[in-house]
Amino acid sequence: MGVTYKYFGAPDGATAARVPISMRPEELGGDELGMNGMFTKIKPETMAAMVLTGIEGVPLHKVPPLELVVLHPDYAVVKLPMTVVNPLRGIGEEAVGAAAFIWSTVPDRGGPRDAFNVYQLLHEWQDFSHRLHEAGHQPYCLVWP
């Protein structure tokens, strides 16, 4: 089994750091961290690069690093820059489709991804970005092996 990433929103780093440590990700409900989260196998660095290069046109080497909030032997919490979720709120179908196509051509360890799968993922992220904005939260990721 690989690493699972749970993306969630929190008002600040102190709140984000108080993650449940006794539960496995598959046991967590939707609102235990104050925001409907998203489980995925996609790394936060990849997500940041996908949005910033595919939508904002930022060169890959200029994608900002993630901020480490907690490093524990059993898990880690990282903060994603708001520049990763904010651009998704204002774009339409054409921009999402174009970003999905661009990202589908970028080879990763598993080879290029199907553009439609990337398109669906970006839509999930678009919904997530709206929920974050409405709650006044910032994006975080719980990394659990």
In degrees and rounded to multiples of 5, residue 9 shows phi and psi of -110, 150
Q: What is the mean pLDDT of each run of 10 residues along the chain (145 residues)?
A: 78 80 47 56 82 82 89 88 85 89 73 78 87 88 83
Helix, strand or coil, per DSSP, at residue 37? coil
**Residue 26 pLDDT:** 47
Q: Name the residue with tokens 């949005």.
A: 51
3-state secondary structure of 90: coil
CA-based nearest residue to 46, from 95, 104, 129, 126 = 104
User: What pLDDT, on a 0 to 100 scale, did the predictor assign at position 85?
Assistant: 82
Q: Single out the residue of 98, 68, 95, 93 nearest to residue 80, CA to CA.
A: 68
